[in-house]
Amino acid sequence: MADAIAVLNAGSSSLKFSLFGIVGGALELTARGQAEGLYTSPRFVARDRDGKILDAKDWGDGVKLGHEGALYYLFSHADLGDQRLIGVGHRVVHGGLMFDRSVRIDASVLAALEKYVPLAPLHQPHNLASIRALLISAPQLPQVACFDTAFHRDQPEVEQAFALPRAITEKGVRRYGFHGLSYEYITQVLSVCDRRAAQGKTVIMHLGNGASMCAVANGRSVASTMGFTAVDGLPMGTRCGALDSGVLLYLMDELGMDARAIEDTLYRQSGLLGVSGISSDMRVLEASTEPGAKAAIDLFIHRIGRELGGLAAALGGLDAMVFTAGIGENSAMLRERVCRAAGWLGVELDLEANHAGGPRISTAESRVAVWVIPTNEELMIAQHTRAVLAGDQVTMAMAADVNPGLQ
């Protein structure tokens, strides 16, 4: 009987899962799926790796299934075939200053992670709800927390600090950076497909509904666009990105908005959606002829270009760029415009390769190598979980699992 690892990614009203079998020492995806609308109209679907539906259920409107109910359904219905579940890896958005690597969860780790809820109130409570529910319903099942912040923990102090009074900094108000599991995965793939980039100065652009960029030197994060929260940096689907903090005072003093109204505006009504007035979905904006759609795309690309310059400065040069996540992997138009704007850094785009989706989309002469690499945060979590359960150090040795098929 083969061992298997489940990966859970809990959002505010959803629970995504993947199941990885350990086959011949390597991790292989065997099933994935999600439960959505957990507090309004829950629906569940699980598919095998070829997309065939294994199980689907709709609870109907007005049902509050919650994270606990979804977990119970998932684990009581999961058909593992001839696989034995040896552990569960959770995506946990915030590991604060304490956790610079993945960790086996027990009551004391859970208590430490609760302290970071105020630092990530929109994500952390849901991540922890799933952990808590499993600790109660399956206390014998090993659980591992894998953090979006851990990859950035070693950034230089000047990158992590805000220019705020020390007493506020000491409360944990500093730049943490997020999307770390995605960046770590990409650095692993680079170590297989482009050694120069892996050992050099690379900017990775995770451009999805959430969007951020990270400067990586010799495989380590040195700067990132997201800071204290996941609303900083680039404009995103519905998040505003970097904002003059004076705007917050204006919203409070002149528009009479309270904290919750501001939160709703900055996290859910801004970004591509707010600027376009049409949609947060890049596919819809690309297909639209409305001026608002063009304005949103122009702003997104402009900010990517500005951040790229800043991150190249933090690195002191640039050897490679990587596009990843929904927009980065799929929008040839956006990649082309970002690369054209980055011509001053030595980027030369191969138009044909870009339209074909890569993986390498720069010309042979380009000083900067440009790649399109699909991210795989779930595999990263499964790798970490396996390594923690085996008592190993989580190291780049895990690159052995990566089979990017890029060469």
Catalytic amino acids? Answer: 148
Is residue 189 within 8 Å of 200, Cβ to Cβ?
A: no
21 binds ligand AMP (CB under 6 A): no
Min dist. Cβ of residue 116 to ligand AMP (A): 23
Is residue 232 within 8 Å of 242, Cβ to Cβ?
A: yes
Tell me phi and psi for residue 406, to 5 degrees. Answer: -100, -10
380 binds ligand AMP (CB under 6 A): no
Min dist. Cβ of residue 237 to ligand AMP (A): 5
Q: Of 279 and 362, which has the nearer Cβ to ligand AMP?
A: 279
Q: How far apart are CA 386 and CA 374, in angstroms?
A: 22
288 binds ligand AMP (CB under 6 A): no
Q: Name the closest residue to ligand AMP (Cβ).
A: 326
Q: Of 331 and 385, which has the nearer Cβ to ligand AMP?
A: 331
Stretch that binds ligand AMP, among 253-261, 327-335, 347-355, 377-385 (CB under 6 A): 327-335
83 binds ligand AMP (CB under 6 A): no
Q: Of 222 and 372, which has the nearer Cβ to ligand AMP?
A: 372
Site for ligand AMP (CB under 6 A): which residue of 33, 69, 208, 233? Answer: 208
Q: Of 115 and 283, which has the nearer Cβ to ligand AMP?
A: 283
297 binds ligand AMP (CB under 6 A): no
Tell me phi and psi for residue 200, to 5 degrees. Answer: -110, -145
Judge if the upstream peptide bond of residue 139 is cis by omega within 30 degrees of 0: no
Min dist. Cβ of residue 256 to ligand AMP (A): 32
374 binds ligand AMP (CB under 6 A): no
Q: How far apart are CA 106 and CA 117, in angstroms?
A: 17
282 binds ligand AMP (CB under 6 A): yes
Q: How far apart are CA 37 and CA 10, in angstroms?
A: 12
Please report, for residues 14, 205, 225, 358, the alpha-carbon distance to residue 273 in angstroms, rounded to integers and kept in the order given.
21, 20, 20, 28
Please report, for residues 31, 91, 356, 381, the alpha-carbon distance to residue 5 in angstroms, rounded to integers and kept in the order given.
11, 13, 34, 10
Stretch that binds ligand AMP, among 279-287, 344-352, 356-364, 389-397 (CB under 6 A): 279-287
143 binds ligand AMP (CB under 6 A): no
233 binds ligand AMP (CB under 6 A): no
283 binds ligand AMP (CB under 6 A): yes
> Mapping DSSP to helix (H, G, I), strand (E, B) and coil, where does residue 214 land?
strand
Q: How far apart are CA 384 and CA 97, in angstroms?
A: 19
Sort strands 220-224 and 103-104 into parallel, antiparallel or unpaired: unpaired
237 binds ligand AMP (CB under 6 A): yes
How many residues sit in the footprint of ligand AMP (CB under 6 A)? Answer: 12
- Which tokens hold the place of 11? 């959002």
Proportion of the chain in helix, strand, coil states, percent, rounded to 5:
40, 20, 35
Is residue 92 within 8 Å of 110, Cβ to Cβ?
A: no
Min dist. Cβ of residue 98 to ligand AMP (A): 28
Helix then strand count (H, E) for the chain reads 16, 13
235 binds ligand AMP (CB under 6 A): no
Strand partners, 143: 88
Is residue 324 within 8 Å of 206, Cβ to Cβ?
A: yes
209 binds ligand AMP (CB under 6 A): yes
Site for ligand AMP (CB under 6 A): which residue of 325, 373, 379, 387? Answer: 325
181 binds ligand AMP (CB under 6 A): no
188 binds ligand AMP (CB under 6 A): no
212 binds ligand AMP (CB under 6 A): no
Q: How far apart are CA 161 and CA 84, in angstroms?
A: 45
Q: Which parts of this chain interact with ligand AMP (CB under 6 A)?
A: 208-209, 237, 281-283, 286, 325-327, 330-331
